[in-house]
Structure 1
Amino acid sequence: MKQSYVYIMTSMNHRAIYIGVTSNLVKRVYEHKNGLCDGFTKRYHCTKLVYFEVFDNIDEAINREKYLKGKKRDFKIALIEKQNPKWRDLYDDIL
């Protein structure tokens, strides 16, 4: 079974927060970091991976993504800071 991921990208100043879902986290974050994804992350320079969760089922990952996208910014910040209090870029950790 292929794993799926919900992830959060942010800009360097942490003003913009993007939540996404993917089955290949390394590839997807690479695309965000190198401006290969048109849209929000490219427009707001969201190149820093600050949070991710792993799922065994893509449907669970999609439901979690929708849930998180529906939450207020303060909730998302608290979620990030619980796992990653310094907002470190986690990209090197997943390579």
Structure 2
Amino acid sequence: MAFHTYLLRCNDGSYYVGHTDDLESRMAQHQTGAVAGYTAPRRPVTMAWSETFPSRDETFAAERRIKGWSRAKKEALIAGDWERLKMLARNHKG
């Protein structure tokens, strides 16, 4: 079974990070407002990024890590800008 960490762009421009074992179903739940909480009043949402992991533990760890990132770092991830992502990570530690 595959597990997914995902990043949604909400209608208000904010980001939401989550994880699931059924990405298509979870996205539909976010779109319809079936998921109570952060995304429900910020619909519609769009998938900005996702990655598949072999275990739920790895997926949850990725979700927790990304949730702690700055907006700039999330945007570098979405863009696939690995150099900027590394630079932002270095600057955060310094």
Do Structure 1 and Structure 2 share a fold, with TM-score over 0.5? yes
Q: Which residue of 2 aligns with 1:39?
A: 37
Q: Distance in 2 between matches of 1:46 and 1:32?
A: 8
TM-score by length of 2: 0.80
Q: C-alpha offsets along residues 43-81 of structure 1, whole Å, 9 cap, x if unaligned?
A: 222521111000011100000100001111110011011
Task: Indicate if the aligned counterparts of 2:11 and 2:45 stay in contact, CA closer than 8 A.
Answer: yes
**Alpha carbon RMSD of aligned pairs, Å?**
1.5
Letter paired with 1:57: S
Task: Indicate if the aligned counterparts of 1:11 and 1:17 stay in contact, CA closer than 8 A.
Answer: yes
**Percent identity (aligned):** 27
Q: Which residue of 2 aligns with 1:4?
A: 3
Q: Which residue of 2 aligns with 1:29?
A: 27
Q: Which residue of 2 aligns with 1:81?
A: 79
Greater Cα radius of gyration, structure 1 or 2: 2
Q: Distance in 2 between matches of 1:79 and 1:66?
A: 15
Unaligned runs of 5+ in 1: 84-95
| Partner SS for 2:52 | strand
Aligned length in residues: 81
Task: Indicate if the aligned counterparts of 2:5 and 2:18 stay in contact, CA closer than 8 A.
Answer: yes
Q: Which residue of 1 aligns with 2:66?
A: 68
Unaligned runs of 5+ in 2: 82-94
TM-score by length of 1: 0.79
Give the helix-richer structure, 1 or 2: 2
Q: How big is the shift at 1:35? A: 1.1
Q: How big is the shift at 1:16? A: 1.1
Q: C-alpha offsets along residues 2-41 of structure 1, whole Å, 9 cap, x if unaligned?
A: 100000111245x110000001101000100111111001
